[in-house]
A and B are shown apart, each in its own frame.
Chain A
Amino acid sequence: MKIAMVGATRGMGRALARRLAERGDALFLLGRDEADLGLSARDLEARGAPLPVGQARLDLGEPAGFAAALDAADRALSRLDALVVTGGLFARQDELAADPARLAALLHANFTGTVLLCQQTAERLAARGGGLICAFGSVAGDRARRGNYLYGASKAGLAVFLDGLDLAYRERGVRVLCVKPGFVRTAMTAGLPVPPFAGEPDAVARRVLVAMDAGRHEVYAPGVWRLVMLLIRALPRAVLRRVQF
């Protein structure tokens, strides 16, 4: 595959990019910190990605720049056939609740920006016969918790969008995969209390890779979270009110 990635410098995105590089997929990195993109590009080249791994600036909060960034990726990859978005913003509920500007930035990047980027890319891919779009939602979008419903809302909206995108574009050859990670130990979740079933980035990456190749439209990682969320979604509201959830 020829893949443009948003968020490959960190956490699960870094792990996934490495797995893709090791099996020889061509990569192009998009993100805001150009120095950091360069560090990851060299890392991926050393691990087997076809040379060179290119990069361009893209900020999920600035949709005006998406077309140029995708053009750059298209040129470098001689037409990309996949987009992977692992990037996004995260903050604790209390921080978001206390700071409207920060909440707005998070909602804008995780939902508006990601939707605009995926929609635009889906159109490009459909026009050239098809491809793959993979974006990261979250189990936090499956059911609201009083502890992180603001972040969860941005991911819930994204999940509905991706679900619809898959329905709309699959017959035009564009497969859409929504990844729903459970709690994964990364720098993003550092300092948060670690719940049961916490996962590691590389295990998530391997699972996502399988789901990508199989043409799935949704995957939970680690896999046990599918069951966990099935149960949590089935909990009556009265129970949710009573327990600290």
Chain B
Amino acid sequence: MARAVEQLSVGSRVEEVAGWGRHPVARGRVERPERLALPAGGEPLVPRGLGRAYGDAALPSHPGGLVLESTRADRIHSFEPATGRLHCEAGLSLAEILRVFVPRGWFPPVTPGTKFVTVGACVACDVHGKNHHRDGSFGNFVDRVTLRTADGRVVECGPDRERELFLATLGGMGLTGLIVDVTLRLRRVESPWIVLETQGMASLDAMLEGLRLSAAHWPYTVGWIDCLARGADLGRGILMRGRHATQVEAGTRRARRAVPLRVPFDAPEWLLNPLFMRWFNRLYAWSHGTALRRRVVSYDAFFYPLDAVEHWNRLYGRRGLLQYQCVLPRAAGSRPVATLLERLGVAGAASFLAVIKDCGPASDAYLSFPMEGITLALDLPNRGAVTEALVHDLNATVIEHGGRVYLAKDAVTRAEDFARMVPRLAEWRAVRERWDPARRFRSAQSVRLFGDPG
């Protein structure tokens, strides 16, 4: 009965809104409609999905601003079993796609480190995954995006239609229009299982070489780096590479029902250090040396280890965390990566674990994050001004070597620094100016980085 909701004139209440890093925190009026539409009257708004962006990408531009959450607009329009083409509403999550389509032999073409993201957000952030070196980012598998633009029109864009708008929308952080529908191509897989190989790497150069060698034969590669290691051990860690298992390899394995763990409340800040230390040391001991181990694991264990722990971000305490992710061009070599790791060591503020990954060629999308080179991601427990200063310090190194940071993670980068990282920013701004001259779509991040009205 449609009237149920239309008649409900209960105004949206002001609530606290934060990214996954839980810093910063803003106040906004959150609406979660079952069909995505723009409110009458032209009020500015920020689109939001499942809130997995770490920083301020999905926070309102001003206190009490409108936040349009897409998660209830999650219907599938069609699926073509012959081609894997999935046409769906923007609020559909990868978790739901996996639940429905993995049993039928289909997998998301690109997935970030959490499955609790919406398809709309995958487009808006042009997300990448462990297969970036081979397949590129999410946008490579998107055929069509339907937008509600600032003037209220429904506009379809894609690689072959309204191409500039399409390229501005991929990685455009939802600022070109409200993403309503998406058509993407799923990937055929033989089984829900992943053949995983892990190998201890003694140094940064060994890790980078390992990633390079694995890239030729493995669709999924990634490294975990022990940030506590110094000197000759700098950059040591574990290399992981995986591929979808064949039916024969999967055998008669049956998925075990995952027991969801949960962090019930904020951890005190002192807890973090010994806990993570022990955890990592055990992990390292397990994989110590250069022994190669091969196993067959579930796709959840391989792609989404942290999703098994609900609210794991609470481990960082009430003040939350800043996630830092940058990419450095291949030409810069391993030196700047080592510099970043050393800086973190000196600051003593680092997480104990960093994720490292080699990226393939950049996409044509103006603001898309990945570029051919090395990307590094790590958690920085938020300690206020010290942590922000550290980010600016890391940014200086990144700018010096021609790299950039990932907007889905960022909360503090300065506008002038971001402009120096992204040479195509002016092109993106020009397209946005055409489609949304009044900046109807704006966020705390776009106020910070693009000078939008607050």
Contacts and interface: CB of A to CB of B under 8 A. Distances in A.
Interface in A82-129: 87-92, 95, 102, 109
Contacts of A102: 7
B4 A46 contact: no
Contacts of B72: 186-187
Contacts of B273: none
Contacts of A33: 2
Interface stretch (B75-83, B193-201, B294-302, B319-327): B75-83
A10 interface: yes
Contacts of B2: 9-10, 31-33, 36
Q: Which of A7, A42, A88 gathers the greatest number of chain B CB atoms within 10 Å? A: A42
Interface stretch (B17-25, B29-37, B259-267, B340-348): B29-37
* Chief secondary structure at chain A's binding surface: loop
Interface in B405-440: none
A74 interface: no
B76 A89 contact: no
B9 interface: yes
A188 B77 contact: no
Given A90-B8, A92-B10, A47 B3 contact: no
Nearest to A21: B100
A17 to B, nearest CB: 11
A6 B2 CA distance: 11
B219 to A, nearest CB: 26
Interface in A154-191: 186-188, 190-191
Interface in A14-58: 14, 22, 31-33, 36, 39-40, 42-43, 46-48
Contacts of B7: 89-91, 102
A60 interface: yes
Given A39-B35, A89-B1, 10 more contacts: A7-B1, A10-B1, A10-B4, A46-B78, A87-B4, A88-B1, A89-B4, A188-B8, A190-B5, A190-B10
A39 B77 contact: yes
Place the interface of chain B in its size category.
20 to 34
A7 B9 CA distance: 20
Given A187-B33, A187-B34, A190-B32, A47 B1 contact: no
Nearest to B32: A190
B8 A190 contact: yes
B12 interface: yes
A192 interface: yes
B108 to A, nearest CB: 16
A102 B6 CA distance: 13
B231 interface: no
Contacts of A188: 4-5, 8
A190 B12 contact: yes
Interface of B: 1-5, 7-13, 31-35, 72, 75-79, 100
B238 to A, nearest CB: 36
Nearest to A43: B75
B1 A6 contact: yes
B199 to A, nearest CB: 40
Place the interface of chain A in its size category.
35 or more
A10 B72 CA distance: 9
Contacts of B13: 191, 193
A46 B186 CA distance: 14
A36 B35 contact: yes
Interface string A58-83: 00100000000000000000000000
A76 B5 CA distance: 29
B366 to A, nearest CB: 32
B1 A187 contact: no
* Chief secondary structure at chain B's binding surface: loop
Contact of A46 (B5, B34, B35, B76): B76
Nearest to A18: B100
A89 B3 contact: yes
Given A39-B77, A46-B76, A47-B100, A191 B5 contact: no
A187 B32 CA distance: 7
A226 B75 CA distance: 31
Nearest to B77: A42
B66 to A, nearest CB: 13
Nearest to B34: A187
A43 B76 contact: yes
Interface in A190-237: 190-193
12 contacts: A10-B2, A14-B34, A22-B100, A31-B2, A32-B1, A36-B35, A46-B79, A48-B100, A102-B7, A109-B1, A187-B32, A187-B34
Q: Which of A14, A31, A39, A48 gathers the greatest number of chain B CB atoms within 10 Å? A: A39
Contacts of A39: 35, 75, 77
A47 B103 CA distance: 11
Contacts of A187: 5, 8, 32-34, 72
Contacts of B3: 32, 89
Given A43-B76, A46-B76, A46-B78, A95 B9 contact: yes
Contacts of B79: 46
Contacts of A14: 34
Contacts of B78: 42, 46
B75 A90 contact: no
Nearest to B29: A191
Contact of A10 (B5, B9, B77): B5
A44 B96 CA distance: 13
A21 to B, nearest CB: 10
A46 B72 CA distance: 17
A32 B75 CA distance: 18
Contacts of B5: 10, 187-188, 190
A190 B4 contact: no
Q: Please provide the 6 A-B residue pairs with the shortest distance between their CB atoms, ordered closest to farther.
A: A191-B10, A87-B1, A43-B75, A46-B76, A33-B2, A46-B79
